[in-house]
Structure 1
Amino acid sequence: MNKETSRILKRIDALGEISDDKQCLSRFYGTKSHKKARKKLLKWMAKAGMQTSTDIVGNVKGVLKSSNPNAKHFMIGSHYDSVFNAGKYDGPLGIILGIEIAHAFSKQNTELPFHLHVCAFADEEGCRFNIAYLGSSLIAGNFNKNWLKKEDDYGYSLSRLMKKNKGDFKDINKNIIPPESWLGYFEPHIEQGPVLCDENTAVCLVSGIAAQNRVNITWKGISGHAGTYPMDLRNDALCAASEFILGVENLGKQNKEKLVTTVGKIKSEPNVSNVIPGLVSHSLDLRSPNNKFLENITKTLYYKALKIAEERHIELQWEIMQSNPSVTCNNQLKEALATSIKKYNKKLIEIPSGAGHDAVMLSNVAPVSMLFIRCKEGISHNPEEYVSPEDIETSFKVSFDFINELAKKNEYE
């Protein structure tokens, strides 16, 4: 094992130990463990020779500046928040690879023709406020100030959390890089699927990212005594939600070649055994590579929800939290990355991503590229998530070569 791989593994393990839950890895946005991880990332970036900073959202940023003040900007990035009961590679592997690449250039005292940024995005998963890509949306200039009103499950607002970062909301967009100043964005990430295992290959190109809609749905019925309220007179919010959720699953199965549907979070009130549920809220996650198809499916489900609410005499609230179109990775960056892959990997394949990534937000301002890295059995969002040292070494060699070749190409342009 070379020194780069050894350092990457040690740092992944170190971040993996930072959790708000003693029984598993859980690092939601803005929690104590999240802030502790932020400090560690800042320290590693500084050790790698980068100028470091954070912003009001909590992004951790390092940069190797070019001596050319008019140089363009190239960024390597991923996220450092996690889902509950997470694996330790999803997000951190891409960040730490980026730090290691910057360290290599800094140690060589290489003069880059572009500003090389490494960004650890504060919140990609969206587990706390059900808003994905908070960190990368700020960098891309797509931060929606209406999100500041959003609250977590405990009534704690996003604006209150961000004020703790001691930033000024008036300056929320001060660090945005204009689209014309971007050279590109690169995100190395575990595949979170089984294709690379089936193909017996360490890394691959990513062709693009599926479109995604996130919806918050609330059903308001009437709470009542479980023993005295007749069945045919009830306005049971949980039964309404359940009927809808099964419909979501059926629709996904009917269109399984081009759609995945998930209800992953649900809250019922008053949530006691002897009271009819009067209020239920839940998430809805819809993804498809086809933008128009996803739009139509979202409308279909909305009208289905309205029909269920009307038949059951339930009040419905339907709130689209985010709607992100599909993303296509940049052809020129893909060609350059493919050249690097072929130097160090057995084969070259290209696959789409069903999972969302920070590249979704960055694609609004920059050409984007992604490298998928094999994870054991495709397992992710799970403590069993694992990437071998050999595959990490390959991913580092490919990624460093990719950035190095971009530097050589842009040196004379």
Structure 2
Amino acid sequence: MFTTLSKKFSKIFQNISQQGRLTEKNIQKTLKKVQYTLLEADVSISVINDLTKILKKKSIGQIINKSLTPGQEFIKIVQTELVNLINSPKKKINFFEKPPVKFLMVGLQGAGKTTSLIKLAYFITKKFKKKILVVSTDTIRPAAIDQLEILSKKSNINFLKSYKSQTPQEIVKIAIKHAIKQLYDILIIDTAGRLHNNEKMMQELQNLQNYIKPTETFFVMDSMTGQDALHSIKNFNNFLKISGIILTKLDSDHRGGIILSIQHTTKIPIKLIGIGEKIQDLQIFCPDRIIKRILGMGDISSLIEDLKINLKKSTIQKIEKKIKSGKNFNLNDFLIQIKQIKKIGGIEFLKNKLPLNTQMINQNMYNFNEETLKKMEAMILSMTPIEKEFPKILNYSRKIRISSGSGITIQEMNSYLKQFKNIQRLMKTAKKKGFNTLFKNFTNMF
């Protein structure tokens, strides 16, 4: 996510951070680089112009050289103004109405409404412990209802069957009655994708919204569509009252500028972002965290949250208990953690949330990948129980046997065992300073 954009910003900031004193000339030069970077990222021209004016006003003429680190002070100004650019007081999801609270999903054809609906239902169930019912009013797209049913069953989400012979309003009427009777907290309604220039279909959607009176109407938008998406949002909003945007495919390799343009251009807040294909890959939109990632500062806060949510509570408690007891963290424990890392998305998922400078400085972490994880797992599985418990006994002859059984070289094995020693040291620190040290110093594990 934002890899190209992040690298360019990191380079710009690295250059200005090295300046002992900031002048109007070098600030202007840096702002030009910021403008070019944003243009290449497909940010709207009007957004770039407005942002540049604010940055000039805040940095040129300000006495930032009173700071011991004027370059850092300038970076802080850029960070603050980018957060202001994408922030909105209305970005929170509204759950607080008489149940069933109704959410309506709308968007262009192929934007990913149905999969986003399931991710949303799963996310709310997990995070807010709400009882949710989902239903489809898409009687146009072949197998649309079947798709929602299959995804619902796969994700343990309650699904109400609808039929192509029914009208969308008939489906919704039955769904609302069922949700009230069965005491559901939230009813999420899927709709057929439509083009914004099809006035007849847009009118039908408007009539459906007027009938439902949803608490939230989410416009599901593919982030890869770029600036064209802004026109779609505006045209949809002419017919509907869109309360928030779900931005999908932020994990894909695209320029990423659209996320900086939406709020400023349409005045509609981004409320949720899709960061992958897995059901858990949906997050609440946090402007400060997104900007940190765009600027190459990483997103450690959401990484910690993801780890705490996705790692098994029983596993965390088991390790925490072991740390507190003073017992050594051994390779059996490490094997459990390797499996947990694979479960939450793997090494690439973790690396994408780390600051770029951390990745570049810590070459071990930068070179650490899914293949490395597989090799480490194979190495541990090729050991005897006593070797896993006490890796210090691994002499040359034992390593030859493990190498033969796992298919990794002795040189690789020595490197992995060195990584493991780093983790053991971290565990000892966690015993003294508390279990949260594990999360705060997660990058040190590698």
TM-score, normalised relative to structure 2? 0.20
Higher RCO (C-alpha 8 Å, min separation 6): 1
Q: Decide which structure has the larger Cα Rg and report it.
A: 2
Q: Name whichever structure is richer in helix by fraction.
A: 2
Q: Name whichever structure is richer in strand by fraction.
A: 1
